[in-house]
């Protein structure tokens, strides 16, 4: 008889001791853990152990691209938990507010925990803000809490006020001080304002050396040992090097986002045509690449028109959206400033978008492709970003980004593994071998840390199918065709 028991991965020691136990023992906890060190697991585990069968309300705030990640975390680590998960995603704020009110009212009858997921940019907007502040939360967790580091930011001030509605507050971030030690004040306004006080002006006077015009420029910092001691009064720090025995050689994660309505409509039209052709047997693995190419382009935010599709005087490249670029900007903001990043992509348009995203994240960008090779410059920049630079120029510099065309950079390129622990796939090609060779460029002799591999995925597109095929080491084109055949059969 088949067993229905689901095997759940064992919890790591630091997740148990510094995560679950700390959250249970303290009203405010900061998990300042590196990306890839498993900081979401303690939240799921705490909810499972504490609120199973209880009508508890849990709010998880995060960047927009991370909202869709959390349901998968609960499915992975608490598959048997009877919980209502409510992602307040891309609908208008008024509809999100109505949905939240409805779920809160339903919860009173069903008596199970409600986990609400909301992105920072939407939470403070009316009428959603009114609903969020009208109820008592048993736990509020701010994922990538450094997003509310600005003392005067609207979202930061909102969560500072919302904190009064929470029995417990947790912050999660691998980059607690992305620009300067002063970044911690607003985060602690949410977590525990008693640690650094209620006045940012007094906090700045205590820890910053001011000068320049009207004494408003930060020239340096002071009393940092005291600041550090206060920070760690509620925080724990975990780096990937701290937990190497627990980690696999490469940690894979996803950043998902929704296409804009315009791009969604265009994608669905092309996808329906593709599925119909697959179902009729017109498209096979040998001739599917042209159609798959168009789907992949739309998921990446552009369309390369054929000559017969061009309007008079028109250009071949038509940009349809920038959601994937926005997701990359958010990701780069979450990677520690001192860490170089390698971003793989397939199309020249993608490489341009990667470099634009790097500029917006205040990082220099270099390219390795068939049209341009600046690997040496990138390596020199990485070598020049030494410990002295990181401490003295932290507010003005960040490690660079290398945009790599996957066909060019997956083979015959050495040196990447000596510089970068972060590998991002903006887009993938059709070759399973190229994909693993690309990761291998960062994981070769000389690599001392674990590699974090991040996929940027447009939801309900070929991106998801490709990522699933790569995870199972299946050939990509065949997997996409199988998925199209299944969906065509289901619709008919």
Q: Give the tens place of pLDDT for each residue, 332-357.
A: 988 888 888 999 998 888 999 999 99
Average pLDDT over residues 485-489: 68
187: tokens are: 């985060």
Angle between helix axes 462-471 and 432-442 (nearest 10 degrees) is: 70
- Is 340:422 a contact under the CB 8 Å cutoff? yes
Residue 413 lies in a domain: yes
d(CA 352, CA 456): 16
Residue 2 lies in a domain: no
d(CA 232, CA 235): 4
Most confident of 335-349, 364-378, 383-397, 472-486: 335-349
d(CA 389, CA 440): 29
- Residue at token pair 């650094």: 196
Residue 423 lies in a domain: yes
Whether 20 and 115 map to the same domain: the answer is yes
Say if residue 287's pLDDT is above 80: no
pLDDT tens figures, 451-473: 788 999 988 888 888 887 777 76
> For residue 387, what pLDDT is reported?
45
Residue numbers of the domain that contains 394:
250-257+321-491
Top pLDDT among 64 and 472 is at 64
d(CA 162, CA 178): 23
Average pLDDT over residues 370-374: 77
The residues near 126 (Cβ < 8 Å, ≥ 6 apart) are: 93
Last residue of a domain, one of 172, 206, 240: 240
What torsion do the CA atoms of 69, 118, 298, 348 make, to the nearest 10 degrees? Answer: -70
Whether 217 and 334 map to the same domain: the answer is no
Whether 84 and 200 map to the same domain: the answer is yes
- CB neighbourhood size of 429 (10 A): 21
How does residue 413 score in pLDDT terms, banded at 50, 70 and 90? Answer: low
Residue 268 lies in a domain: no
How does residue 3 score in pLDDT terms, banded at 50, 70 and 90? Answer: very low
3-state class of 178 per DSSP? Answer: coil
Last residue of a domain, one of 240, 270, 292: 240
Most confident of 136-140, 324-328, 381-385: 136-140
pLDDT tens figures, 141-194: 999 999 999 999 999 999 999 999 999 999 999 889 877 899 999 999 999 999
Which of 42-56, 180-194, 221-235, 440-454 bottoms out in mean pLDDT, i.e. has the lowest?
440-454
How does residue 24 score in pLDDT terms, banded at 50, 70 and 90? Answer: very high
Residue 360 lies in a domain: yes
Whether 142 and 33 map to the same domain: the answer is yes
Residue 281 lies in a domain: no
The model's pTM:
0.70
Domain tally, the chain: 2
Residue 344's CATH number: 3.40.50.300
Whether 82 and 227 map to the same domain: the answer is yes
Residue 197 lies in a domain: yes
Which of 159-168, 320-329, 362-371, 405-414 bottoms out in mean pLDDT, i.e. has the lowest?
405-414
Residue 136 lies in a domain: yes
d(CA 69, CA 283): 33
Average pLDDT over residues 285-313: 68
How does residue 488 score in pLDDT terms, banded at 50, 70 and 90? Answer: low
How far apart, in Å, are the Cα atoms of 83 and each of 57, 111, 113, 338, 422? 10, 9, 5, 39, 33
Whether 328 and 223 map to the same domain: the answer is no
Residue 166's CATH number: 3.40.50.10810
Instruction: Please name every residue paired with 218 in a beta bridge, in sequence order, or none if there are none.
Output: 210
Say if residue 431's pLDDT is above 80: no
Mean pLDDT in the chain? 82
In 301-345, where does DSSP find H-type helix? Answer: 323-334
Which of 43-52, 91-100, 464-473 bottoms out in mean pLDDT, i.e. has the lowest?
464-473
Rounded to 5 degrees, φ, ψ at 486 are: -65, -45
Whether 231 and 325 map to the same domain: the answer is no
């Amino acid at each position: 008889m088949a067993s229905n028991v689901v095997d759940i991965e064992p919890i790591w020691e630091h997740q148990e001791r510094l995560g679950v136990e700390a959250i249970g023992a303290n009203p405010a906890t900061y998990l300042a853990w590196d990306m890839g060190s498993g900081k979401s697991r303690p939240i799921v585990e705490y909810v499972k152990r504490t609120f199973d069968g209880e009508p508890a309300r849990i709010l998880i705030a995060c960047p927009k691209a991370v909202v869709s990640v959390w349901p998968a975390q609960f499915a992975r680590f608490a598959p048997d938990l009877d919980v209502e998960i409510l992602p307040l995603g891309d609908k208008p704020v008024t509809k999100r507010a109505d949905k939240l009110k409805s779920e809160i009212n339903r919860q009173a009858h069903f008596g199970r925990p409600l986990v609400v997921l909301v992105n920072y940019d939407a939470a403070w907007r009316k009428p959603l803000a009114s609903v969020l502040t009208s109820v008592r939360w048993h736990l509020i967790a701010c994922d990538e809490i450094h997003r509310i580091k600005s003392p005067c930011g609207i979202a930061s001030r909102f969560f500072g006020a919302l904190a009064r509605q929470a029995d417990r507050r947790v912050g999660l971030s691998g980059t607690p001080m992305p620009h300067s030690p002063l970044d911690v004040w607003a985060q602690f306004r949410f977590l525990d304002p008693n640690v650094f006080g209620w006045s940012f002006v007094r906090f700045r006077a205590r820890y910053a050396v001011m000068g320049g015009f009207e004494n408003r420029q930060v020239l340096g910092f002071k009393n940092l040992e005291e600041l550090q001691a206060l920070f760690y009064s509620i925080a724990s720090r975990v780096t990937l090097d701290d937990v190497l025995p627990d980690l696999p050689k490469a940690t894979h994660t996803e950043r998902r986002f929704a296409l804009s309505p315009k791009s969604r409509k265009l994608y669905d039209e092309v996808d329906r045509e593709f599925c119909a052709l697959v179902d009729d047997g017109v498209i096979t693995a040998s001739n599917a690449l042209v159609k798959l190419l168009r789907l992949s382009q739309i998921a990446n935010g552009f369309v390369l028109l054929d000559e017969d599709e061009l309007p008079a005087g028109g250009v071949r490249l038509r940009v349809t959206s920038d959601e994937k670029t926005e997701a990359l900007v958010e990701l780069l903001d979450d990677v520690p400033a001192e860490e170089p990043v390698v971003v793989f992509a397939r199309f020249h348009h993608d490489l341009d978008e990667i470099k634009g995203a790097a500029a917006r994240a205040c990082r220099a960008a270099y390219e390795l492709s068939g049209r341009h090779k600046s690997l040496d410059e990138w390596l020199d920049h990485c070598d020049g970003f030494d410990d002295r630079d990181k401490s003295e120029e932290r507010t003005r510099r960040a490690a660079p980004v290398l945009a790599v065309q996957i066909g060019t950079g997956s083979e015959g390129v050495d040196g990447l593994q000596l510089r970068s622990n972060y590998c991002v796939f903006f887009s993938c090609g059709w070759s399973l071998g190229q994909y693993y060779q690309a990761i291998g460029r960062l994981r070769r002799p000389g690599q001392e840390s674990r590699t974090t591999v991040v996929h940027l995925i447009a939801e309900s597109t070929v991106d998801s199918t490709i990522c699933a095929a790569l995870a199972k080491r299946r050939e990509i084109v065949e997997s996409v065709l199988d998925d199209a055949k299944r969906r065509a059969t289901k619709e008919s």
